[in-house]
Amino acid sequence: MNASDKVWTAAVLVIGDEILSGRTHDKNIAQIASWLQVQGIRLTEARVVSDDMAAIVAAVNALRQTYDYLFTTGGIGPTHDDITVDAVASALGVPVVVHPEARAILERYYADRTGGPTDARLRMARVPEGADLIPNRMSGAPGIRWGNVFIMAGVPHITAGMLDALTGTLEGGAPLIAETVGCWVAESEVADLLRTIEKTHPGCQVGSYPFFREGRTGANFVIRSIDGELLSAAVASLCEALAAEGHAFTPGGI
Amino acid sequence: MNASDKVWTAAVLVIGDEILSGRTHDKNIAQIASWLQVQGIRLTEARVVSDDMAAIVAAVNALRQTYDYLFTTGGIGPTHDDITVDAVASALGVPVVVHPEARAILERYYADRTGGPTDARLRMARVPEGADLIPNRMSGAPGIRWGNVFIMAGVPHITAGMLDALTGTLEGGAPLIAETVGCWVAESEVADLLRTIEKTHPGCQVGSYPFFREGRTGANFVIRSIDGELLSAAVASLCEALAAEGHAFTPGGI
């Protein structure tokens, strides 16, 4: 394998009782996944754990050791249930310290706001020792980077801003590209055809994602590859095979 | 601990490249979480892995051994990328067999449909040896139960039907109940107050979920307990404390 063939991998660890209670639908997995694709990094696993020290520590250590990058979301606010920084520091085996730059940012941010820079707010300047900050242009508290661990906010638009700040700064490989072909057909009708397309086009994966809309059955077929030419050839074969079996299809998906 | 105090736990394993690519937003974690709450079972962890045999086998074994119940979603359709049944069987150490009742259901379901009961469609009658079926009243292929492992569909409305069929059949404990109080306040302003409420009300957890809407900062405070009286007392204390600090609040949340 050449160095350039390396597949860069990442995991997301969502921290929060609110996701596991069903109260809040997670949006960060999909958001980080899409962003990683563009960086040439493949999201390979995601986990959701509750606001529990032991659970967070175990997941952080399992994931940061298995994948090239780990992104955590949630649990970095000012309230008592925000324990991510303490848990990550414990996983890394380093103490929690106050980051002077983070403290200065928070003092500036809260200077003119009701209540001012309280102790609770300044808790958000605490980081695992040796960490760097990730800029947050949406609100006061910055994200945190320690080695291959990225500690992001739980609120999706704040995490979006942090991802923007990280764009282009992480080493990745060739981005996985994808093309979608949609078809109003039961996927079971074309299962053999799809299997053949994947078998005869090495370097391409073919996924089938059925849906049921407006009382009709359909599916989107997604072909993925890191090679644009292989991808185009596979898509052409798929369209040809669908047409040969009399199925109308929609390039780009339905 | 009395037998009746046992906390029943569950995990969800979402199987599918489409979630990890960011293409599809998972809805099954939240849906299963809400359903489990009513059954008195606590969703304690969720994982998302790709359509990869080794990854599924490892996650199935880790989760079914750690929690009382494991629900998998996705990968049980008729196409080549549907490998959940094979992976679960491998994790359980049993062969894959054709379930006669599942086969009969599929033959009936596809009898009058275009293409009929093809080999690809009848693949959906394959189960880990010793499994029972979970009724599916939305489409043909049933779900599968093997011990504490429940193999569900990836399409959310099909999984919803399978959950309906399982309602009331799983042993659980006292359901965790929750009350929400919303407030147009930065959570950092009331962080001390929330910490005090949790400390002075044993048996209750207090969560704080900030949001940013219509240009304003707010938060919902969620108090959870398995004891209705403890819960009501904690909610009353929270409302009193918010009022004493001059914050208007909305019972039920914003």
Is residue B241 included in any domain, yes or no?
A: yes
Is residue A68 included in any domain, yes or no?
A: yes
Task: Give the model confidence (pLDDT) of B9-42 as tens digits.
Answer: 999 999 999 999 988 999 999 999 999 998 999 9
Mean pLDDT calculated for residue range B166-176: 91
Decide: B205 and A21 in contact? Cβ < 8 Å: no
- What's the rounded Cα separation, in Å, for the pair B89 and B29? 23
Task: Give the model confidence (pLDDT) of A139-148 as tens digits.
Answer: 889 999 999 9
Check A55 against B78: CB less than 8 A apart.
Answer: no
Task: Give the model confidence (pLDDT) of A80-93 as tens digits.
Answer: 999 999 999 999 99
Q: What is the pLDDT of residue B4?
A: 61
Q: Supply A124's token pair.
A: 């958000």
At A181, which amino acid appears?
Answer: V
Dihedrals φ, ψ of A151, to 5°? -100, 110
* B213 and chain A in contact, CB less than 8 A: no
First to last CA, chain A: 37
Query: CB-CB: which of A80, A120, A187 is closest to B198?
Result: A80
Shared domain for A208 and A129, answered yes or no, is no
Is residue A67 included in any domain, yes or no?
A: yes
What is the domain range of residue B35?
3-166
Is residue B119 included in any domain, yes or no?
A: yes
A222 contacts in chain B (CB < 8 Å) = 18, 21, 23
Shared domain for A154 and A186, answered yes or no, is no
Is residue B171 included in any domain, yes or no?
A: no
**Residue B88 to chain A, least CA–CA distance (Å):** 18
Task: Give the model confidence (pLDDT) of B60-85 as tens digits.
Answer: 999 999 999 999 999 999 999 999 99
Going by pLDDT thresholds of 50, 70 and 90, the confidence category of residue A1 is very low
Average pLDDT of chain B, as a whole number:
94
Domain stop point among B110, B133, B166: B166
* A47 and chain B in contact, CB less than 8 A: yes
Shared domain for A65 and A14, answered yes or no, is yes
Task: Give the model confidence (pLDDT) of A198-254 as tens digits.
Answer: 999 999 999 999 888 888 889 999 999 989 999 999 999 999 999 999 999 999 999
- What's the rounded Cα separation, in Å, for the pair B79 and A205? 13
Domain stop point among B144, B166, B188: B166
Give the number of other Cβ atoms within 10 Å of residue B183's Cβ.
22
Query: CB-CB: which of A32, A44, A222 is closest to B23?
Result: A222
At A138, which amino acid appears?
Answer: M
Asked if pLDDT for residue A69 goes beyond 90, the answer is: yes
Q: Calculate what percentage of chain A has a pLDDT beyond 90.
A: 87
Shared domain for A75 and A11, answered yes or no, is yes
Decide: A237 and A243 in contact? Cβ < 8 Å: no
Mean pLDDT calculated for residue range A56-77: 97
Shared domain for B18 and B97, answered yes or no, is yes
Residue B239 DSSP SS3? helix
Is residue B172 included in any domain, yes or no?
A: no
Interface confidence (ipTM) of the complex: 0.89
Shared domain for B13 and B77, answered yes or no, is yes
Q: What is the pLDDT of residue B1?
A: 44
Task: Give the model confidence (pLDDT) of A154-205 as tens digits.
Answer: 999 999 999 999 999 999 988 888 999 999 999 999 999 999 999 999 999 9
Query: In which region does residue A203 sit, left (phi positive, over 0), alpha (psi from -120 to 50) or beta (all else)?
Result: left
Task: Give the model confidence (pLDDT) of B196-250 as tens digits.
Answer: 999 999 999 999 998 888 888 899 999 999 899 999 999 999 999 999 999 999 9
Q: How many domains does chain A have?
A: 2
Token pair 């994948």: residue: A67
The β-bridge partners of B12 are: B46, B71
Shared domain for B21 and B126, answered yes or no, is yes
Shared domain for B83 and B206, answered yes or no, is no
Task: Give the model confidence (pLDDT) of B85-118 as tens digits.
Answer: 999 999 999 999 999 999 999 999 999 988 899 9
The CATH number assigned to the domain holding B240 equals: 3.30.70.260
Shared domain for A133 and A45, answered yes or no, is yes
Shared domain for A26 and A146, answered yes or no, is yes
Domain stop point among B121, B139, B166: B166
Shared domain for A208 and A160, answered yes or no, is no
Average pLDDT of chain A, as a whole number:
94
Going by pLDDT thresholds of 50, 70 and 90, the confidence category of residue A4 is low
The CATH number assigned to the domain holding A38 equals: 3.40.980.10
Is residue A172 included in any domain, yes or no?
A: no
Asked if pLDDT for residue A2 goes beyond 80, the answer is: no
Shared domain for B134 and B31, answered yes or no, is yes
Is residue A171 included in any domain, yes or no?
A: no
At B118, which amino acid appears?
Answer: T
